[in-house]
Chains A and B, each alone.
Chain A
Amino acid sequence: MSFDLPFSARISVPDGVLVRDLDGESVVLNLQTEKYYGLDDVGTRMWAVLTTSPTVQAAYETLLHEYDVEPERLREDLRRLIGDLVEHGLLVVHE
């Protein structure tokens, strides 16, 4: 899912969501839905940066610096990841 995400927004992890880093990858549990999700190494890094940055734009700039990726491709990947995680109740967007 890719959705209309303002990059000025802030991302946070809602109550009832647990995450564990496992050798650079991670597993996330939503206690409300009792469902587990896996993130690969890139998804794990995106999660870490998104949930500790003041805005999505700041996270985007950090990741653009770290990865050899086209800017528009990274923008789209972030939109898609955030859309998926928000849909499953694993992240909250504060506009």
Chain B
Amino acid sequence: MLVSRRYSIGAAVTLETEASFPELPRSSRVPDLRLLFRRTRFDERPSAWSHHWTLPNGDLWMSSAKLKDDHFLHFPGYADFLMSADGTRVTAYRRASVAGCTIRHLFLDQVVPLALSRRGQTVLHASAVSTPHGALAFVAESGSGKSTLAAAFARNGSPFLTDDCLVLRISKTGVEVLPSYPGLRVWPDVLPAVTNEKRRLPRVSNYSSKRRLAPGNAPIDYSDAPAALRRVYFLGESSQDIAIAPIPARRAMIELVKFNYLYDVKDREALAWQFHRLSALARLPLFYAIDYPRDLARLPDVRRAILEHAAGTP
């Protein structure tokens, strides 16, 4: 008989599962998300898909659909996930040939953000670090440098809060960042800039050469304490110089929508709720665009420039 284990996925989620998750710290909190594994294919197919996500090369990456009240997430060639209507229970259907790290990555970095969205949380595709001035978030497309920036901060005294799943708690008194799990995913060519660690770092998945950095295998700091949000930086193109400029609320809103996780874009109620929350967020004086050189040798300069900027008045 398998034994259930409890893990912390940061401040927002406590996971209960029979599987082993070496990426996560154990937890004694009451679980609010349960994950079951099935070593079979999920044969039922939806009559209509809600949405398809494609990779930059045009390949299909993920499709989603409603199946009765549940949400079906299909990763072609890898796995299927069935998420309950309330976002508290997920069943993973994995192919036998797919590595465990790949399934865990898909669950942690794709399914969990959508489950949090289903629960009504505001979740952005962004990394974040904790500094003496407050939390700083870096928002960008995949491969644009947000994990590299977070790693650069995390090995220089500013613990990271999340690699890619930025959960925001918005209240009348302000906006807080809820930390995610203690792992960063970086490309191999970035590793020398952020760690001297010689040991072989674990792969994120069997379809990517990205490696997992964690406080246990690299000299980086992580914080599991919620932190007040100080600045949100939208990462622009690579440039010769470092330039930071505020962006107007309308543009901030459009960018927030672009990088917001929404479990079902066809759900009118969820779409309206997202519009309401993100427009309230966009009005706050938090949002900036930053252009900087994508040169690993300049990372210390970029980090210093951001810290100086964050220390300034809004």
Interface residues of A (CB under 8 A from B): 16, 18, 20, 22-23, 25-27, 29, 31, 34, 36, 38-40
Residues 250-293 of B at the A interface (beta carbon under 8 Å): 250-254, 257, 265-266, 268, 271-272, 275, 279, 282-283
Which residue in chain B gives the minimum CB-CB distance to A29?
B275
The reply to whether A22 and B257 form a contact with Cβ atoms under 8 Å apart is no
Partner of A25, one of B249, B265, B271, B272: B249
- The prevalent SS among residues of A at the interface is strand
Bound CA span A36–B250, Å? 11
The reply to whether B271 and A31 form a contact with Cβ atoms under 8 Å apart is yes
The reply to whether B265 and A34 form a contact with Cβ atoms under 8 Å apart is yes
The reply to whether B272 and A36 form a contact with Cβ atoms under 8 Å apart is no
The reply to whether A36 and B257 form a contact with Cβ atoms under 8 Å apart is yes
**A31 CB → nearest B CB, Å:** 5
Which residue in chain A gives the minimum CB-CB distance to B269?
A31
Contacts of B257 in A (CB 8 A): 36
Contacts of A27 in B (CB 8 A): 250, 253-254, 275, 279, 282
Bound CA span A23–B250, Å? 8
**B12 CB → nearest A CB, Å:** 26
The reply to whether B272 and A20 form a contact with Cβ atoms under 8 Å apart is no
Interface residues of B (CB under 8 A from A): 248-254, 257, 265-266, 268, 271-272, 275, 279, 282-283
Bound CA span A76–B275, Å? 31
Known A18-B275, A20-B275, A22-B282; judge A38-B268 contact (CB<8 A): no
Bound CA span A25–B282, Å? 12
Bound CA span A39–B248, Å? 12
Max count, chain A CB within 10 A of own CB: residue among B271, B282, B283: B271
Bound CA span A26–B279, Å? 10
Contacts of A40 in B (CB 8 A): 250
Partner of B254, one of A16, A18, A23, A36: A36
The reply to whether A20 and B253 form a contact with Cβ atoms under 8 Å apart is yes
Max count, chain A CB within 10 A of own CB: residue among B249, B257, B282: B249
The reply to whether A22 and B279 form a contact with Cβ atoms under 8 Å apart is yes
The reply to whether B254 and A25 form a contact with Cβ atoms under 8 Å apart is no
Contacts of A29 in B (CB 8 A): 271-272, 275
Bound CA span A38–B251, Å? 8
Contacts of A25 in B (CB 8 A): 248-250
Contacts of B275 in A (CB 8 A): 18, 20, 27, 29
**B42 CB → nearest A CB, Å:** 26
Which residue in chain B gives the minimum CB-CB distance to A23?
B249
Which residue in chain A gives the minimum CB-CB distance to B271?
A31
**B197 CB → nearest A CB, Å:** 43
Beyond A34-B265, A34-B271, 18 additional pairs, beta carbon < 8 A: A22-B248, A22-B279, A22-B283, A23-B248, A23-B249, A25-B249, A25-B250, A27-B250, A27-B254, A27-B275, A27-B279, A27-B282, A29-B275, A31-B272, A38-B250, A38-B253, A38-B254, A40-B250
